[in-house]
Amino acid sequence: MTTVASPMVLLDPTVKTQGALVSTAPRPRSLDGLVVALLDNSKRNADLILEATYRLLAERYALAGVIRYAKSTASKPFAPQVMDDVVRRAQVAVTAMGD
């Protein structure tokens, strides 16, 4: 009996980078006097992670305030108006993804 080898098909699961690379915003030297935005992606426990993070930051820094935002669903991005509000009102943003 003779067997014939089938050709092997290899797939590359990686993707090519699309668009321009962007750098992150520079970090402030201190959070003293700054407003912090907390961005909750609405997954379970994200709010708990953000609240614990906020408490730690508030213990260490003299924050000027906090603004909390929560998405209606984790599968969609924040609305552009929300992100504009974050940029306008806060100097630092913290986001959390629960589960």
The helix/strand/coil state of 88 is helix
> Residue 1: its pLDDT value, please?
66
Q: What is the pTM of this model?
A: 0.74
Distance between CA 40 and CA 47 in Å, rounded? 6
Distance between CA 94 and CA 99 in Å, rounded? 17
Length of the chain: 99
DSSP H/E element including 81: helix 80-89
> Residue 21: its pLDDT value, please?
81
Contacts of residue 65, Cβ cutoff 8 Å, sequence gap at least 6: 35, 36
Domain ranges across the chain? 35-96
pLDDT in tens, the chain (99 residues): 677 778 888 888 888 877 788 888 889 999 999 999 999 999 999 999 999 999 999 999 999 999 999 998 888 999 999 999 999 999 999 998 877
> Residue 14: its pLDDT value, please?
87
